[in-house]
Amino acid sequence: MLAVQGAVSEHEAALADVGARTRRVRAPGDLDGLDGLVIPGGESTTFGLVAGESGLLPAVRGRIDAGMPVLGTCAGMIMLADGIAGGGPQPLVGGMDIVVRRNAFGRQVHSFEADVEVPALGAPPMRGIFIRAPWIEAAGPSIEVLAEHGGHPVAARDATRIVAAFHPELTGDRRLHRMFVERVRASAGAQHKEGSVVGAQ
Ligand code: GLN
pLDDT tens for 15-55 read 999 999 999 999 999 999 999 999 999 999 999 998 888 89
167 is an active site residue = yes
CB 81 within 8 A of CB 96: yes
Choose among 82, 151, 93, 89: nearest CA to 117.
151
Q: What is the predicted pLDDT for the residue at 192?
A: 67
Q: How far is the CA of 196 from the centre of ligand 1 (A)?
A: 36
* pLDDT of residue 108 exceeding 80: no
Choose among 73, 1, 71: nearest CA to 31.
1
Give 114-171 pLDDT, tens digit per residue.
999 999 999 999 999 999 999 999 999 999 999 999 999 999 999 999 999 999 999 9
pTM: 0.93
* pLDDT of residue 63 exceeding 60: yes
CB 133 within 8 A of CB 74: yes
Decide: 164 in ligand 1 pocket, CB within 6 A: no
* Cα angle: 121, vertex 127, 131; to 5 degrees: 120
Catalytic residue among 169, 182, 192, 194: 169
* pLDDT of residue 196 exceeding 60: no
Decide: 11 in ligand 1 pocket, CB within 6 A: no
Decide: 74 in ligand 1 pocket, CB within 6 A: yes
* pLDDT of residue 183 exceeding 60: yes
Mean pLDDT, the chain, as a whole number? 93
Q: What is the predicted pLDDT for the residue at 144?
A: 98
* pLDDT of residue 113 exceeding 90: yes
Q: What is the predicted pLDDT for the residue at 109?
A: 67
Decide: 41 in ligand 1 pocket, CB within 6 A: yes
Is the alpha carbon torsion for 55, 57, 63, 69 positive or negative?
positive
Strand spans (E) along 23-133: 37-39, 70-73, 81-84, 96-101, 112-116, 126-130
For residue 105, the SS3 value is coil
For residue 99, the SS3 value is strand
Q: What whole-number distance in Å separates Cα of residue 194 and Cα of residue 52?
A: 32
Q: What is the predicted pLDDT for the residue at 200?
A: 41
Q: How confident is the model at residue 89 (pLDDT cuts 50, 70, 90)?
A: confident
Q: How far is the CA of 101 from the centre of ligand 1 (A)?
A: 10
Provide mean pLDDT across the span 62-69.
97
Q: Distance between alpha carbon 52 and the CA centroid of its chain, in Å?
A: 18
Atom of ligand 1 nearest to the CA of 40: 8
Domains and CATH numbers, the chain: 8-200 (3.40.50.880)
